[in-house]
Amino acid sequence: MTFRISKSFEIESGHLLTKHPDKCRFPHGHSRRVDIVLAADALDANDMVCDFKAVKSAMHEFLDAWDHAFCLNTDDPQFAHFQKAYGVNIVPFEKKDPTSEVMAKTIFDELKRRLAGTGGQPDPRYAVPPGVRVERVRVTETSSSWAEYEE
């Protein structure tokens, strides 16, 4: 038996897709929804997979850096210009276009790293119990389009 929980975040971010043949190769933005799904085979001592606040605590800072930021492929010829002009508000994607698919995998990998203890959980009151795993991450780009990543 598997138990699942989902925590959603909303961010505003821009990007451009250097490999796209049409309009998406130009700068544009999205109101994105990020849905994180965690799973466990058993509930913790509080009868939960984990507290929703644990997910928020683990990912808030990471996703906040993407809010009102511009996501850009480091191979973009204008990358250095954008980074110089906007500094920390440029989110670099190493040699990849920041598609919703790539974003979903990036978020998945970061949360997995943080849950493994290598990224730290900022609030020890909301630790994620052993056995909890990241099942999938969905990034919604528009009201009719989303991308999802799972291992």
Q: Where are the domains of the chain?
A: 3-19+30-149
118 band by pLDDT with thresholds 50, 70 and 90: low
The H-or-E segment that residue 105 falls in is helix 100-115
Distance CA 105, CA 150 (A): 8
Give the type of residue at 41. Answer: D
- Distances in Å between the alpha carbon of 59 and those of 2, 27, 49, 78, 80? 23, 26, 17, 29, 27
Architecture of the CATH domain 3-19+30-149: 2-Layer Sandwich (3.30)
Q: Tell me which of 118 and 49 has the higher pLDDT.
A: 49
Answer yes or no: are the C-beta atoms of 145 and 104 closer than 8 Å: no
3-32 confidence digits (pLDDT tens):
999 999 999 999 999 999 999 999 999 999
- Distances in Å between the alpha carbon of 85 and those of 27, 93, 119? 15, 17, 29
Average pLDDT (36-49) is 95
**121 has a pLDDT exceeding 70:** no
pLDDT attached to residue 122: 60
Provide the β-strand partners of residue 10: 33
